[in-house]
Structure 1
Amino acid sequence: MKTILGLHQQLSRYDAALTAWGGSLMSLALRCYVGWQFFKAGMVKVGDWGATLSLFRDEYMVPLLPPELAAYAGAAGELVLPVLLFVGLASRPAALALFLVNAMAVISYPQLLSFECPAAINDHFYWGAMLLVLVAFGPGKVSLDAWLARRA
């Protein structure tokens, strides 16, 4: 009986270590994947700024902000916040801010809900869910946040 209990305790220690590192690697994968989606969108925005301004004036209906300010804020958020996610610095605030950028995109472009192909809106739901996971569980051990916490 002692042998079985000893074996269980050893397996539990390995399981805890694997879960901690596995969760950290999953968190890193989520940070990189969802960050890359937003970073690409930001690069498209700055790649053709005239078209971006036109879209914000004519298509996107961002509440409370003038179209030019909304375009600058959206592009800045899509370029800066993913970099914070990639390196794991201020990860929870960056993920929450990207969640808000994502929500604003859905609110501002109601045509997403009327497309015959649901992939467009589904992507936003998936990204939102991934970002909320990062807000809830943090960036994991493979991040600057964790490194800074260990040094403090």
Structure 2
Amino acid sequence: MNHALKPAFCAYRLLIRCSCWLQPLVLLMLRLWIANVFFSSGLTKIADWDVTLALFTDEYHVPLLPPAVAAVMAACGELGLSSLLALGLGGRFAAAGLFILNAVAVISYPGLTDATRQFHYFWGSQILVLLAFGPGLLSLDAACKRWLSRRCPAAGDC
């Protein structure tokens, strides 16, 4: 190896080691942040159910679903899926569900401003990161996989 490149190569290897160490923390923070956004929205929905039903009847135009059904599905999805995401239990499933909820929100609410639409796009892109990389090592999914691989070594191949 060229001696002039050796310091750059060592710095690069250090950067890779640090990023591998940081990845589980970054995925945990991302899961918790996204979960908080959707869980807070779900809490708002159940705080005043009459207002929620009125919004789903008059403002939100969820395709193919009656307003009351859409309201229940949205509240349950936001509360349940965000809880699963925060725990990292069924992490990719939870992320997929929240991605769909987010997409339906963008489609069904014509009153979104450009700024609020950008928030939804931002959340959607972050959810896609969780779909692509999974919930990470600091999750119940990873803990279950470790436990299963100790109990049944062939299960670790899945």
User: For this structure pair, what is the TM-score category when the shorter chain's length is used for normalisation?
Assistant: 0.7 to 0.9
Q: Judge conservation of contact 1:21–1:141 (CA < 8 Å) in 2.
A: no
Name the structure 2 match of 1:148.
144
| Pairing 1:127–2:97 present | no
Find the aligned partners of 1:144 and 1:99 in 2 and give their Cα distance.
20
Cα deviation code 1:117-146 (max 9, x no counterpart): x32111100000000000001111110111
Find the aligned partners of 2:67 and 2:128 in 1 and give their Cα distance.
27
Cα deviation code 1:81-117 (max 9, x no counterpart): 11111111000010010000000001110221xx3xx
Name the structure 2 match of 1:54.
54
- SS state at 1:111 partner: coil
Name structure 2 gaps, 5 residues minimum. Answer: 149-158
Name the structure 1 match of 2:151.
none
Find the aligned partners of 2:66 and 2:144 in 1 and give their Cα distance.
38
Q: RMSD over aligned Cα, in angstroms?
A: 2.1
Q: Judge conservation of contact 1:63–1:108 (CA < 8 Å) in 2.
A: yes
Higher-RCO chain (CA-CA 8 Å, sequence separation at least 6): 1
Name structure 1 gaps, 5 residues minimum. Answer: none
Query: What percentage of aligned pairs have identical amino acids?
Result: 47
Question: TM-score, normalised on structure 2?
Answer: 0.84
Find the aligned partners of 1:24 and 1:78 in 2 and give their Cα distance.
24
Match of 1:139 among 135, 141, 158: 135
**C-alpha deviation, 1:15, in angstroms:** 4.8
Find the aligned partners of 1:21 and 1:87 in 2 and give their Cα distance.
20
